A and B are shown apart, each in its own frame.
Chain A
Amino acid sequence: MKKYLFVLRKPAHSGAQVQEILDIVLTTAAFDQQVAILLLDDGVFHLKNGQQPGIAGMKDTAAIFKALEIYDVHDIYTEVESLQERGLKPGDLCLPVQEFYRKDIAGLMKRYDVVFAG
């Protein structure tokens, strides 16, 4: 077994990118590997409540994230500064997240065998 950290930095609804990354996350979890997600920069928008992506012909990424629990993916991390810079609070997000300061992100990544850039 390996420990995987998926780092999502692009905003939600960046074409099929997000959908396809989440497919990898779910497949990895289905292989009984330890999976965590780190939302950095514009990636924090993935979990924002109140999305209406249907208008733009996109899927609701927040809904896909809610399905992660079924696959035993519980570790969702985000960066304090990324949220602050975008005027977001943890309460604006649709799932509970663990916040890390920017200075601690490198240490977090070191705890994983595979850091997957998404």
Chain B
Amino acid sequence: MKFAIQINTSPYQSNAGHIAYQFIKAVLAQGHEVFRVFFYHDGIYHAFKYATPPDDELQFTAQWSELARQHQIDLVVCISAAQRRGLLCTDEGKRQGKADNDLAEGFRISGLGQLVEATLEADRFIVFG
């Protein structure tokens, strides 16, 4: 089965993002496909590469980057939600006349059309948070 996932809460506001991560791992382990993970609202805070939690805590952003690397999962951050909250990739930073490069490895920034496409392509669409 093909899944699309949306994550709406930040790592330190709620554990919904981490539950989504565990859900995706379980889905993949059972041979299903994850078409896309879309980060929206405060969910975009998962994609900040300079998040530096203490060593004895879970490294949420690094976990997502690793998941994307291992399984080629498409991690998409909504551009308008990201810009509102100060998350800019290099290209977008330049376009806005700002020096910034906040996006962690494995994530990409795109528009809401990517979310709608994911809901159309997937057999199941699940929102976390």
Contacts and interface: CB of A to CB of B under 8 A. Distances in A.
B101 interface: no
A111 interface: no
Given A114-B119, A116-B127, A117-B127, A20 B113 contact: no
A27 B112 CA distance: 7
A4 B120 CA distance: 10
B125 A114 contact: yes
Interface in A26-77: 27-28, 31, 33
Q: What band does the interface of chain B fall in when counting residues whose beta carbon is under 8 Å from A?
A: 10 to 19
B20 to A, nearest CB: 13
A23 B116 CA distance: 11
A98 interface: no
Contact of B116 (A16, A17, A33): A33
Summarize A's interface: helix, strand, loop or mixed: mixed
A20 B40 contact: yes
B120 A2 contact: yes
Interface residues of A, number: 14
Nearest to A28: B116
Interface string A2-36: 10100000000000110010011001100101000
B115 interface: yes
Interface string B86-129: 00000000000000000000000001110110011000010100
A31 B81 CA distance: 20
A33 B113 CA distance: 12
B41 interface: yes
A17 B119 contact: no
A10 B21 CA distance: 25
A33 B84 CA distance: 27
A27 B113 contact: yes
A11 to B, nearest CB: 16
Contacts of A2: 119-120
A33 B119 CA distance: 11
Contacts of B81: 16, 20
Interface of A: 2, 4, 16-17, 20, 23-24, 27-28, 31, 33, 114, 116-117
Interface of B: 40-41, 80-81, 84, 111-113, 115-116, 119-120, 125, 127
